[in-house]
Amino acid sequence: MNIQEQALTQNSEKHKVAKIAIIGAGPGGLATAIALRNKGFDVQVYEKAQEFRPAGTGLGLSPNGLNCLEAISPGIVESLKISGTELRQTALKNVSGETIRANTAKYLEKYGQTFIIVWWWNLQQVLASRLPSDIIHLNHRCIGFKQNDSNVEIYFDGGNTVNADLLIGADGVNSVIRETLTGEGKPNYLRSMCWRSVIKYNHELFNSYDLVFIKGNKQFMYLLNVGDGYTSWISRKFLPDCSLSQSAEQVKSRILHELKDWDKSFRAVVEATPAEEIKEHPICDRPPLSHWSQGRVTLLGDAAHPMAPAMAQGANSSFEDAYELQACLSQKSTLEAALIRYEQRRIERTQVIQGRSALGEMRYYETDTETSERQMQERSQLANNDDFQTWLYGYKPY
CB contact set of 305 (below 8 Å; sequence gap of 6+): 286, 288, 317, 350, 351, 353, 354
Residue/partner pairs of 213-216 with CB below 8 Å, 24 or more apart: 213/90, 213/91, 213/92, 213/93, 214/92, 214/93, 214/94, 214/95, 214/262, 214/266, 215/92, 215/93, 215/94, 215/95, 215/100, 215/364, 216/94, 216/95, 216/261, 216/262
**Quick one: 8 or 289, whose CB is closer to ligand FAD?**
289
The footprint of ligand FAD on residues 283-302 (CB under 6 A) is 301-302
- Which part of the chain contacts ligand FAD (CB under 6 A), choosing from 305-313, 322-330, 363-371, 377-385? 305-313
- DSSP string for residues in 95-156: TTS-EEEEEE--HHHHHSS--EEEEHHHHHHHHHTTS-GGGEE-S--EEEEEE-SS-EEEEE
CB of 136 to ligand FAD, least distance (A): 11
Told to check if 256 binds ligand FAD by CB under 6 A, we report no
**Quick one: 143 or 337, whose CB is closer to ligand FAD?**
143
Told to check if 169 binds ligand FAD by CB under 6 A, we report no
CB contact set of 29 (below 8 Å; sequence gap of 6+): 22, 23, 45, 47, 168, 170, 171, 300, 301
Taking CB under 6 A as the criterion, the residue among 40, 60, 227, 397 binding ligand FAD is 60
- Which part of the chain contacts ligand FAD (CB under 6 A), choosing from 23-31, 105-113, 270-278, 340-348? 23-31
**Quick one: 194 or 212, whose CB is closer to ligand FAD?**
194
Told to check if 167 binds ligand FAD by CB under 6 A, we report no
Told to check if 28 binds ligand FAD by CB under 6 A, we report yes
Nearest of 117, 362, 120, 354 to residue 236 by alpha carbon = 362
Told to check if 312 binds ligand FAD by CB under 6 A, we report yes
Told to check if 23 binds ligand FAD by CB under 6 A, we report yes
Told to check if 172 binds ligand FAD by CB under 6 A, we report yes
User: What is the pattern of x (binds ligand FAD, CB under 6 A) and - over residues 192-231?
Assistant: --x-x-----------------------------------
Contact positions vs ligand FAD (CB under 6 A): 23-29, 46-49, 57, 59-60, 120, 140-142, 170-172, 176, 194, 196, 234, 301-303, 309, 312-316, 318
